[in-house]
Amino acid sequence: MIRSASDIGRVSGQLCDYVTPNETEVADITGVPVNTVDEARKAGDALLKLGAKNALITLGANGPLLHNREQSVHVPTYKVKVVETTGAGDAFNGAFAVAIGEGRPPVEATRFACACAALSVTKAGRRLLQCQCAARLRRSCRREFKIINLSIVF
């Protein structure tokens, strides 16, 4: 299940496996300003209290934080020459959904998402990468999963 940011107040353990806000969105939702990984962990705790099973908070060039009750893992980004950042979050979320759909563990799925997002910013335009991710997701998803994406609605 992928929903918009307006649905975050209704997040519960039954409705959401992953919440994927960026640092601005998570600050708006939780009231916790996020400028560091430690602050992202505090915001992640607030999302867990709202009922999310996993908080995957993207921190731009600082990489994402995968945070749940068992672990809190900061995944570094790949250093690339940035041409255009439009769609980087979409590429990240699409790639994460693909990897989870393939049955990859969440940390590995997050690393894969970082790689796809890094590739997406190296050229202008994002449509091709997103279409490739969507096609791969349709082919590979063998289990039901729910992701709330706070940036877009697929």
**Average pLDDT along the chain:** 79
Select which of 7, 38, 45, 90 is catalytic.
90
DSSP secondary structure code for residue 15 in this structure:
T
Q: What is the mean pLDDT of residues 137-154?
A: 44
Phi, psi (deg, nearest 5) at residue 6:
-65, -15
For residue range 83-142, what is the model confidence (pLDDT) as tens digits?
Answer: 888 888 888 998 998 899 888 999 999 999 998 888 888 888 655 555 555 555 555 544
Give the pLDDT score at 3.
42
- The predicted pLDDT at position 14 comes to 53
Cβ neighbours around 91 below 10 Å, total: 23
Q: Assess whether 28 carries a catalytic annotation.
A: no
Q: What residue spans define the domains of the chain?
A: 5-148
**Residues 140, 72: Cα–Cα separation, whole Å:** 27
Read off the pTM. 0.77
What kind of fold does domain 5-148 have according to CATH? UDP-N-acetylmuramoyl-L-alanine:D-glutamate ligase (3.40.1190)
